[in-house]
Chain A
Amino acid sequence: MMTDSILHSAILLALLGTVAALVLFVVSKKFYVYENPLIAEVEDLLPAANCAGCGSPGCKAFAEKLVNTEDISDLFCPVGGNEVMKLVSETLGKEVAEKDPTVAVVRCQGSCEVRPKTTEYQGPKSCAISALIYSGETDCQYGCLGDGDCVAACSFDAMYMDEATGLPVVITDKCTSCGMCVDACPRNIIEMRPKKKRDLKIYVGCLNEEKGGIARKACSVACIGCSKCVDACPKDAIVVENNLAYIDPAYCTLCRKCVPVCPTNSIIETNFPPRKVKKAEPEVAAKVESVKVQKDA
């Protein structure tokens, strides 16, 4: 009696299982969608950050694009960098472009001390909204608004707002150069610059296009467009346009000659070893010292 009921249920279950398996088999054959197995393979290689830094809505979409496009030399995963792209190239047998790794830099040094507030904003804490309404709490209409849209956009925790200065800071080790912060900033302050060796960078930390006096009045570390850096640069890497200097990373050899000549200290150098102070030029030495103090602070 007992064995019977066990047997019956076992047979019933086995039957049910078989029927279900048959249905599943038929459905999987009937509604099978062919997908190139390469897509899954390439997707496994990608970093799965889904950051959209490549321009596709996610890693899966980018993998599809990589597999389906003939010429992939203009496609690049900024998060994975050259390593991942090399693996992709081996898997797909297509040529990929090699790119210098880049990192986000914040081109504004307008902290509360050097850029005094002239008005007060009480609306929602969002750069996009305040930029829509007015030109910011200070007299500089080009600088950082300080509401942290870039920090909110970063999905790698690579940015934070510095409480003391009110400016965003990039943690370069965590930055994957996906470019989301560049898009989020309504002022276009953040730029992707080549990391080069040991993350050495020299860039102008200002976007103010006003004439010297007006820019200086709004912010004491503003670029005043004096062109002294242009004269100091041996490689012609610096251009001054609209009263604003820009250092082209493609030509800059990181010689640091432009940094001490800047009268407003608006050229920023990062990760360089301390300078050897020449005794013959006390003025320059003093300036270098003040630059260093500022950087340390």
Chain B
Amino acid sequence: MLRTFPKGGIHPPENKLTSSKPIKRLPLPKVVYVPISQHIGIPAEIIVDRKDKVEIGQVIAKSGGFVSSNIHAPVAGTVTKLDKIVDTRGYKKQCIVIRTDAKNESNLEEIEYPLRKEIELEPEEILQRISDYGIVGLGGATFPSHVKLQIKEGKKLDCLIINGVECEPYLTADHRLMLEHSEEILVGIRILMHALHVDRAIIGIENNKRDAIDLFKKLTTNESGIQIAALKVKYPQGGEKQLVRALLKREVPKNGLPLDVGVVVHNVGTVYAIYQAVQHNRPLLERVVTVTGKKLDQPSNFWVKIGTPISDLIDAVGGVPENTRKIVSGGPMMGMALKNMDVPVTKGTSGILVISEDEASRGAPKNCIRCGECVDVCPMGLEPHLLMNLSEKGMYEKASQEDILTCIECGSCSYVCPSHRPLLDYIRFGKSIVKQLETKSA
């Protein structure tokens, strides 16, 4: 019997088209657009100016506070302008435009460092480096990693969980990374265990990635402290709270963090980035992006420089196929449909999904038939139909009492609703209002 979280969840068609495609390196982009707000928290402050020459890995925007992150030049080149570029939501956001210097050797070198297993840094130095090198959670939430690693006084930590779940359909970025860089990830886990002073780590992987599970099991036979757990395939198991519940049977309190039950969760992509930062002095300059879709010629996984326009990625897989309705940044469940293809890849872009006409349309909403499907699938134990009605009618206090803020916006309710009701849209709206009201009254 495989482990999983007990309440709710769905199993949409997996469609992992690219799970056997090795990660290729995308050709160097001519121009990169690096947004200064790629993480949750305060945007970084730009410290370069027009016409400045930047080296690869140079800090171009400095962290704006504690919950913020440095941003580095992903390529060597010249800053052509400080401009605005559309983000995934279609709003123009400040970014730094760098024209790549094609002749610069540091841009051309293939980064294949030998594996370095010895950890030489002290825990404080490791934390400092993670903070300096702009590491954020690469699972999609882009929360600055050094904040998660700062254990507050009085909290007891006993387990590190590594998130290799990748429960979103279509995406295979973490899967491929685990297969191709398993040893580096294991060193990364050791680094984190050293920094956090814990002696137990669990890698949670869903059972549709058998090859990754077997590989890690083989590599960790002689290692003590690192366990591999195969999990039943279920969305949204990649959510922190669901994963902690599935692996350790510990319930993260509402409005709480995994740390409240003695756990810290990091994504495998983040762990790899931490390995690169600590062992090889490399800031976060690139990430794995899955470019996929049923109608694409060659859906693939790529190493992509931060700031590469999404049009470059689409070109690399053979252009936009006919009958395309939406291009989504992220997975089909939680991703955002893009307004145009100028949007750059940021630290949080895990995949680009091209959806055709027949897959993309939303049905016309009908009346609620009280079937209770949404209640059954809600992984947080909420009543989505009720929350939607409350926020539609403006009863925000009641919605707050019904714990609307604990919603993790996984979209399972909208997915199963037989009446195609826009449950998540209204809940998200209600959440924003409740948050506003709470900050106002506080």
Which A residues lie at the B interface, using CB under 8 A?
118-119, 122-124, 126, 128-129, 132-136, 139, 141, 210
Question: A141 to B429, Cβ gap below 8 A?
Answer: no
Give the residues in chain A near B432, CB-CB below 8 Å.
132
A-B contact count (CB 8 A): 44
B393 at the binding interface (Cβ < 8 Å): no
Per-position 1/0 for B345-385, Cβ under 8 A of A: 00000000000000001100100000000000000000000
Per-position 1/0 for B386-429, Cβ under 8 A of A: 00000000000000000000000000000000000010011011
Residue of B nearest to A210 (CB): B92
Which B residues lie at the A interface, using CB under 8 A?
86, 89-92, 336-337, 339-340, 361-362, 365, 422, 425-426, 428-429, 432
Known contacts A134-B90, A135-B90, A126 near B339 by CB under 8 Å: no
Question: A123 to B422, Cβ gap below 8 A?
Answer: yes
Query: Distance (Å) between the CB of A166 and the closest chain B CB?
Result: 18
Question: B429 to A132, Cβ gap below 8 A?
Answer: yes
Question: A124 to B426, Cβ gap below 8 A?
Answer: yes
Known contacts A118-B339, A118-B340, A135 near B91 by CB under 8 Å: yes
Give the residues in chain A near B92, CB-CB below 8 Å.
141, 210
Give the residues in chain A near B337, CB-CB below 8 Å.
119, 134
Question: A129 to B426, Cβ gap below 8 A?
Answer: yes
Question: A134 to B336, Cβ gap below 8 A?
Answer: yes
Question: A129 to B90, Cβ gap below 8 A?
Answer: no
Give the residues in chain B near A139, CB-CB below 8 Å.
339
Give the residues in chain B near A119, CB-CB below 8 Å.
90, 337, 339
Question: B425 to A141, Cβ gap below 8 A?
Answer: no
Question: B91 to A133, Cβ gap below 8 A?
Answer: no
Give the residues in chain B near A123, CB-CB below 8 Å.
362, 422, 425
Question: A122 to B362, Cβ gap below 8 A?
Answer: yes
Complex CA–CA separation, A217 to B345 (angstroms): 24
Query: Distance (Å) between the CB of B391 and the closest chain A CB?
Result: 9
Complex CA–CA separation, A133 to B431 (angstroms): 13
Complex CA–CA separation, A118 to B429 (angstroms): 24
Of all A-B residue pairs in the complex, the 3 with the closest CB atoms, nearest first, are A135-B90, A122-B362, A134-B90
Known contacts A141-B91, A141-B92, A135 near B339 by CB under 8 Å: yes
Residue of B nearest to A130 (CB): B425
Give the residues in chain A near B426, CB-CB below 8 Å.
124, 129
17 A/B residue pairs, CB under 8 Å, sorted by A: A119-B90, A119-B337, A119-B339, A122-B361, A122-B362, A124-B365, A124-B422, A124-B425, A124-B426, A128-B429, A132-B428, A133-B89, A134-B89, A134-B339, A135-B339, A136-B90, A139-B339
Question: A133 to B339, Cβ gap below 8 A?
Answer: no
Query: Distance (Å) between the CB of B83 and the closest chain A CB?
Result: 10
Query: Distance (Å) between the CB of A272 and the closest chain B CB?
Result: 35
Give the residues in chain A near B336, CB-CB below 8 Å.
133-134
Question: A141 to B90, Cβ gap below 8 A?
Answer: yes
Residue of B nearest to A129 (CB): B429
Give the residues in chain B near A135, CB-CB below 8 Å.
86, 89-91, 339
Q: Which of B86, B425, B426, B428 has the most CB of A within 10 A?
A: B425
Complex CA–CA separation, A193 to B22 (angstroms): 62
With A124-B422, A132-B429, A136-B90 given, name 11 new contacts (CB 8 A). A118-B339, A119-B90, A119-B337, A122-B361, A123-B422, A124-B425, A132-B432, A133-B89, A134-B90, A134-B91, A135-B86
Question: A133 to B425, Cβ gap below 8 A?
Answer: yes
Complex CA–CA separation, A133 to B426 (angstroms): 11
Residue of A nearest to B336 (CB): A134
Complex CA–CA separation, A123 to B422 (angstroms): 7
Query: Distance (Å) between the CB of B21 and the closest chain A CB?
Result: 30
Complex CA–CA separation, A149 to B426 (angstroms): 14
Query: Distance (Å) between the CB of B306 and the closest chain A CB?
Result: 22
Complex CA–CA separation, A141 to B86 (angstroms): 10
Residue of B nearest to A123 (CB): B425
Complex CA–CA separation, A118 to B428 (angstroms): 24
Residue of A nearest to B89 (CB): A134
Question: B89 to A129, Cβ gap below 8 A?
Answer: no
Complex CA–CA separation, A119 to B339 (angstroms): 6
Give the residues in chain B near A124, CB-CB below 8 Å.
365, 422, 425-426
Question: B340 to A129, Cβ gap below 8 A?
Answer: no
Give the residues in chain B near A210, CB-CB below 8 Å.
92
Residue of A nearest to B424 (CB): A123
Give the residues in chain B near A132, CB-CB below 8 Å.
428-429, 432
Query: Distance (Å) between the CB of A240 and the closest chain B CB?
Result: 18
Q: Which of B86, B90, B92, B361 has the most CB of A within 10 A?
A: B90
Complex CA–CA separation, A183 to B111 (angstroms): 53
Residue of B nearest to A209 (CB): B92
Complex CA–CA separation, A134 to B89 (angstroms): 4
Residue of A nearest to B392 (CB): A124
Give the residues in chain A near B428, CB-CB below 8 Å.
129, 132-133
Complex CA–CA separation, A136 to B429 (angstroms): 16
Complex CA–CA separation, A132 to B391 (angstroms): 14
Query: Distance (Å) between the CB of A242 and the closest chain B CB?
Result: 12
Complex CA–CA separation, A18 to B362 (angstroms): 69
Query: Distance (Å) between the CB of A51 and the closest chain B CB?
Result: 16
Complex CA–CA separation, A126 to B92 (angstroms): 22
Complex CA–CA separation, A210 to B86 (angstroms): 12
Residue of A nearest to B86 (CB): A135
